[in-house]
Amino acid sequence: MRRNTVWRPACIGIALLMCGAAWAVDSGVHQDVLRPAGPQAAAVRELWHVLLLVCALVFAIVLAVLALVLHRRPRATAADAPAAPDQPGDADERRARRVVAGAVAGSGLLLVFLIVVSFVTDRALARLSLDGALRIEVTGNQWWWDVRYDDEQPSRIFFTANELVLPVGRPVVLSLRSSDVIHSFWLPALHGKKDLIPGRTAQLALRADQPGVYRGQCAEFCGTQHSFMALQVRAVVPAEYEAWAAQQRQPAAEPAGALAQRGRTLFLSGTCVMCHAVQGTDAAARKGPDLTHLAGRSTLAAGTLPNSEQDLARWIRDPQHYKPGVNMPASDLPEDDLRALVAYLRGLS
């Protein structure tokens, strides 16, 4: 019995620690707080390490004291009654008081220490130099991210959705807004979370130092499809970023071929234009993602589907199947109209 009380929690604790360590070594996904790709996330990770270390130590000490107490507990038998409880003023009682007072003081000191460490982390986050920062506005919507790359010259502003491309080594200031409910912007490899509160603008400054693809996720429950509200950052060398941005500033490509041309006509005469924009055409609504360069994105509907021909067709036919409740209606288009629409949208590179 006694062995179990000590060993069982200890074994479970060790098993959990090993799982955590294995996950930290390689989880295969690039949505990882413990593998920061920039200074902000690195500062947050340092804080996490300190918190983990302190809490693990406290936990271990508490367990060790518990084990000791269980080991030394007075043992009553049928023959002799348990000892009478200590009286105030007993030497044992005085010692026990000192131990409790010491533990309370120690806990208080540790808490103060953790506050100081959090404060230092906050300062480190605020110190990021913003010289030459790229400015991007991100608006959370149920359940997708509207992205606007700002510029002093209005003609250089462009829109995209759900996927950001960032130049490595250049600071980025994100202005975060919400158009409906509270969302939370979270790119674990680049920064901690930031809430998007309707009616307010929050700022988040970050820098990606390592090229790579980093996944993010809305981190505040925002309705039924909240878990299908992913975002993605591709950090690339500056030259590649400039080339991408120049391409994004172009109006939509002209449809190549008769099928795609018919697709554009269908798009512009159908319901799609009530919600979507395609630069260079009359479609200019902002209720749904900007589709000007849709074909250049790797996923559809905020990371829900791969951006393939079949999935695009399936999505247009019945978005409610993939994201029930989504703010895009199903369309009962004839098969060849759907093919034409898909041909048009696939050409929007």
Interface residues toward ligand HEC, by CB under 6 A: 143-144, 161-162, 270-272, 274-276, 287-289, 291, 294, 297, 300-302, 312, 316, 323, 326-329, 331, 341, 345
Nearest distance from C-beta of residue 304 to ligand HEC, angstroms? 7
Q: Does 41 bind Cu ion (CB under 5 A)?
A: no
Other C-beta atoms closer than 10 Å to the C-beta of 134 total 19
**What residues form DSSP beta bridges with 135?**
173
C-alpha pair distances (Å), 223 with each of 38, 46, 67, 181, 345: 31, 33, 46, 9, 28
- Residue 138 sits in the site that holds Cu ion (CB under 5 A): no
328 binds, among Cu ion, ligand HEC, none (CB under 5 to 8 A by kind): ligand HEC
Q: How far is the CB of 12 from ligand HEC (least distance, A)?
A: 40
Angstrom distance (rounded) from CA 208 to CA 235: 6
- Of 38 and 140, which CB lies nearer to Cu ion in the complex structure? 140
Identify which of residues 47 and 294 has a Cβ nearer to ligand HEC in the complex. Answer: 294
In sequence order, what E strands does 193-237 have?
194-196, 202-206, 212-218, 230-236
Question: Residues 165 to 224: which contact Cu ion by CB under 5 A?
Answer: 183, 218, 222
**Contacting residue, 165, 229, 236, 313, with Cu ion by CB under 5 A:** 229
Partner interacting with residue 218 (select from ligand HEC, Cu ion, none; CB below 5-8 Å by kind): Cu ion
Compute the distance between CA of residue 102 and CA of residue 113 in angstroms, rounded to an integer. 16
Q: Does 230 bind Cu ion (CB under 5 A)?
A: no
Q: For residues 35 and 183, which CB has a smaller minimum distance to Cu ion in the complex? A: 183
> What secondary structure, in 3-state letters, does 241-292 show?
HHHHHHHHHCCCCCCCCHHHHHHHHHHHHCHHHHCCECCCCCCECCCCCCCC
Site for Cu ion contains 262 (CB under 5 A)? no
Q: Find the shortest distance in angstroms from Cβ 320 to ligand HEC.
A: 10
Are 196 and 184 within 8 A, CB to CB?
A: yes
CB atoms within 10 A of CB 39: 20
- Amino acid sitting at position 334: P
Q: Which residues bind Cu ion (CB under 5 A)?
A: 183, 218, 222, 229
